[in-house]
Amino acid sequence: MSELSYKINLEGYPCQRPRLGRYGVHNTSKYSKHKKDLAFLLKTLNIPQKDYEYVEIKFYFAYPKSEPKKNRIANAPMNRKYDVDNLVKSFLDALQDAGVLKDDRCVCGIYAEKLFTTENYGWIEFDFE
């Protein structure tokens, strides 16, 4: 896409519906921690703040340990869990929290994929245009 390519060694986690509790609406603690960690890692990359129009995101996930090694294929599409739109939502929210985007409404187009990796950990690769 462009020369602004990045990689974060953190597996994607989807944005979830806010929960209604005794003290009002809140996000789950697991989602809040993931978004905070992702925003911190994005800040360390020193990505220039700009209204990026297009974003390409690839979410890589490790195979479950129960998957036989003979069945593991690198870059195979992952269709087992997580909706890709919810992964994108949490990523764009973290970009905004990190100060990379002023507002995620400025993004006109998104290309996103969920892929398996044969590594024991997942990560996120992304490009801007």
pLDDT tens for 16-72 read 887 788 888 878 889 999 999 999 999 999 999 988 999 999 999 999 999 999 999
SS3 per-residue string spanning 40-88: HHHHHCCCCCCCCCEEEEEEEEECCCCCCHHHCCCCCECCCCCCHHHHH
Q: Which CATH architecture has domain 5-128?
A: 2-Layer Sandwich (3.30)
Q: Where are the domains of the chain?
A: 5-128
The residue length of the chain stands at 129
Angle at 57 between CA 51 and CA 58, to 5 degrees: 165
Cβ atoms of 93 and 37 closer than 8 Å: no
> What is the band of 109 on the pLDDT scale with cuts at 50, 70, 90?
very high
When pLDDT is averaged across residues 96-116 and rounded to a whole number, the result is: 93
